Protein backbone atom coordinates (compact mmCIF):
# COMPACT_ATOMS: atom_id res chain seq x y z
CA UNK A 1 0.00 0.00 0.00
CA UNK A 2 1.20 3.47 -0.87
CA UNK A 3 1.31 6.47 1.42
CA UNK A 4 -1.61 7.80 -0.63
CA UNK A 5 -3.77 4.84 0.53
CA UNK A 6 -3.70 3.18 -2.89
CA UNK A 7 -2.45 -0.34 -3.58
CA UNK A 8 -0.04 -0.50 -6.53
CA UNK A 9 0.49 -3.30 -9.01
CA UNK A 10 3.45 -3.79 -11.29
CA UNK A 11 1.28 -2.80 -14.25
CA UNK A 12 0.39 0.51 -12.58
CA UNK A 13 3.96 1.31 -11.62
CA UNK A 14 5.63 0.62 -14.96
CA UNK A 15 6.03 3.12 -17.73
CA UNK A 16 5.96 2.48 -21.48
CA UNK A 17 9.78 2.29 -21.60
CA UNK A 18 10.53 0.54 -18.32
CA UNK A 19 10.39 0.57 -14.58
CA UNK A 20 12.68 1.72 -11.78
CA UNK A 21 12.09 0.04 -8.42
CA UNK A 22 13.89 1.58 -5.45
CA UNK A 23 14.13 0.05 -1.99
CA UNK A 24 14.60 2.97 0.39
CA UNK A 25 13.70 3.98 3.92
CA UNK A 26 13.41 7.13 5.96
CA UNK A 27 16.19 6.76 8.51
CA UNK A 28 19.14 5.41 6.52
CA UNK A 29 22.04 7.89 6.30
CA UNK A 30 22.88 6.61 2.81
CA UNK A 31 19.35 7.40 1.61
CA UNK A 32 19.40 10.75 3.38
CA UNK A 33 22.69 11.61 1.65
CA UNK A 34 21.17 11.12 -1.82
CA UNK A 35 17.48 11.90 -1.33
CA UNK A 36 17.46 15.21 -3.20
CA UNK A 37 19.29 13.73 -6.21
CA UNK A 38 17.15 10.57 -6.03
CA UNK A 39 13.97 12.67 -6.27
CA UNK A 40 15.49 14.70 -9.13
CA UNK A 41 16.53 11.59 -11.04
CA UNK A 42 13.19 9.84 -10.44
CA UNK A 43 11.42 12.90 -11.87
CA UNK A 44 13.74 12.96 -14.89
CA UNK A 45 13.40 9.20 -15.48
CA UNK A 46 9.62 9.51 -15.50
CA UNK A 47 9.92 12.20 -18.18
CA UNK A 48 11.55 9.67 -20.53
CA UNK A 49 8.79 7.08 -20.08
CA UNK A 50 10.11 4.98 -17.21
CA UNK A 51 7.80 4.33 -14.27
CA UNK A 52 9.17 4.75 -10.75
CA UNK A 53 8.14 3.25 -7.42
CA UNK A 54 9.87 3.24 -4.02
CA UNK A 55 9.40 0.42 -1.52
CA UNK A 56 10.09 0.61 2.22
CA UNK A 57 10.62 -2.91 3.60
CA UNK A 58 12.19 -2.33 7.02
CA UNK A 59 10.84 -3.69 10.31
CA UNK A 60 8.89 -0.67 11.57
CA UNK A 61 8.52 -2.06 15.10
CA UNK A 62 12.27 -2.10 15.66
CA UNK A 63 12.79 1.00 13.48
CA UNK A 64 9.85 3.35 14.15
CA UNK A 65 11.46 6.14 12.10
CA UNK A 66 10.43 4.04 9.10
CA UNK A 67 6.78 3.75 10.15
CA UNK A 68 3.97 4.39 7.67
CA UNK A 69 3.13 7.81 9.19
CA UNK A 70 6.81 8.73 9.00
CA UNK A 71 6.95 7.55 5.39
CA UNK A 72 4.24 10.11 4.61
CA UNK A 73 6.21 12.87 6.35
CA UNK A 74 9.46 11.89 4.65
CA UNK A 75 7.88 11.84 1.19
CA UNK A 76 6.19 15.20 1.74
CA UNK A 77 9.38 16.79 3.10
CA UNK A 78 11.32 15.67 0.02
CA UNK A 79 8.68 16.23 -2.66
CA UNK A 80 8.21 12.65 -3.85
CA UNK A 81 6.47 12.54 -7.25
CA UNK A 82 6.34 8.74 -7.34
CA UNK A 83 4.50 6.11 -5.28
CA UNK A 84 6.11 5.24 -1.93
CA UNK A 85 4.78 1.91 -0.70
CA UNK A 86 5.31 -0.24 2.36
CA UNK A 87 6.26 -3.91 2.22
CA UNK A 88 4.89 -4.87 5.63
CA UNK A 89 5.42 -8.61 5.15
CA UNK A 90 8.89 -8.08 3.65
CA UNK A 91 7.95 -10.69 1.04
CA UNK A 92 8.65 -8.33 -1.86
CA UNK A 93 12.12 -7.47 -0.57
CA UNK A 94 12.89 -11.16 -0.08
CA UNK A 95 11.51 -12.12 -3.51
CA UNK A 96 13.66 -9.45 -5.15
CA UNK A 97 16.78 -10.25 -3.08
CA UNK A 98 16.92 -6.62 -1.98
CA UNK A 99 19.78 -6.20 0.45
CA UNK A 100 20.16 -2.55 1.35
CA UNK A 101 18.72 0.92 1.28
CA UNK A 102 19.05 2.30 -1.26
CA UNK A 103 18.84 -0.63 -3.67
CA UNK A 104 17.89 0.06 -7.30
CA UNK A 105 16.40 -2.28 -9.90
CA UNK A 106 16.03 -0.96 -13.45
CA UNK A 107 13.85 -2.83 -15.94
CA UNK A 108 13.24 -2.36 -19.64
CA UNK A 109 9.82 -2.22 -21.31
CA UNK A 110 9.64 -6.04 -21.22
CA UNK A 111 10.35 -5.98 -17.47
CA UNK A 112 13.75 -7.61 -17.93
CA UNK A 113 16.26 -6.54 -15.29
CA UNK A 114 18.92 -4.36 -16.91
CA UNK A 115 20.37 -2.34 -14.02
CA UNK A 116 21.26 -3.22 -10.44
CA UNK A 117 23.54 -0.38 -9.55
CA UNK A 118 23.87 2.79 -7.57
CA UNK A 119 22.53 6.31 -7.94
CA UNK A 120 25.99 7.84 -8.07
CA UNK A 121 29.29 7.81 -6.17
CA UNK A 122 27.68 8.92 -2.89
CA UNK A 123 28.17 6.96 0.29
CA UNK A 124 27.11 8.22 3.74
CA UNK A 125 27.93 11.71 2.51
CA UNK A 126 26.67 13.21 -0.72
CA UNK A 127 28.92 12.92 -3.76
CA UNK A 128 30.34 16.03 -5.37
CA UNK A 129 27.74 18.20 -7.14
CA UNK A 130 29.22 17.20 -10.51
CA UNK A 131 29.07 13.44 -9.78
CA UNK A 132 28.08 11.29 -12.73
CA UNK A 133 24.34 10.47 -12.69
CA UNK A 134 24.85 6.70 -13.03
CA UNK A 135 21.25 5.66 -12.32
CA UNK A 136 19.74 8.29 -14.60
CA UNK A 137 22.19 7.49 -17.41
CA UNK A 138 21.48 3.76 -17.08
CA UNK A 139 17.71 4.27 -17.16
CA UNK A 140 17.99 6.62 -20.14
CA UNK A 141 20.01 3.96 -21.99
CA UNK A 142 17.41 1.33 -21.05
CA UNK A 143 14.56 3.57 -22.24
CA UNK A 144 16.37 4.23 -25.51
CA UNK A 145 17.77 0.76 -26.30
CA UNK A 146 16.14 -1.74 -23.94
CA UNK A 147 19.58 -2.67 -22.60
CA UNK A 148 21.43 -1.51 -19.50
CA UNK A 149 25.09 -0.50 -19.32
CA UNK A 150 27.73 -3.22 -19.28
CA UNK A 151 29.51 -1.68 -16.31
CA UNK A 152 27.49 -1.23 -13.14
CA UNK A 153 28.58 -0.29 -9.63
CA UNK A 154 26.66 -1.95 -6.82
CA UNK A 155 24.67 0.27 -4.52
CA UNK A 156 25.90 0.68 -0.97
CA UNK A 157 23.75 1.40 2.05
CA UNK A 158 22.24 0.17 5.27
CA UNK A 159 21.07 -3.42 5.36
CA UNK A 160 17.36 -4.01 5.19
CA UNK A 161 16.07 -4.34 8.75
CA UNK A 162 14.48 -7.77 8.74
CA UNK A 163 11.84 -8.78 11.26
CA UNK A 164 13.07 -11.40 13.67
CA UNK A 165 11.60 -14.86 13.16
CA UNK A 166 9.01 -15.59 15.83
pLDDT tens digits along 78-133: 999 999 999 999 999 999 999 999 999 999 999 999 999 999 988 888 888 888 99
* Average pLDDT rounded to a whole number, residues 129-149: 95
CB 52 within 8 A of CB 84: no
Residues 6+ apart with CB under 8 A from 115: 104, 105, 106, 135, 138, 139, 142, 148, 149, 152
* Average pLDDT rounded to a whole number, residues 28-34: 95
Of 123, 96, 115, the closest CA to residue 31 belongs to 123
State in Å, rounded, how far the first CA of the chain is from the last one.
24
pLDDT of 56 > 80? The answer is yes
Distance CA 74, CA 4 (A): 13
15-159 placed in CATH 2.60.40.10: no
Amino acid sequence: MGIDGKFYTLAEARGPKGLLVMFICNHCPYVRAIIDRLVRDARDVRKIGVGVIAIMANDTVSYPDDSFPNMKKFAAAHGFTFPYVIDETQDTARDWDAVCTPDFFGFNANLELQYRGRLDASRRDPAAPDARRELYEAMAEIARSGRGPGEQNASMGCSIKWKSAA
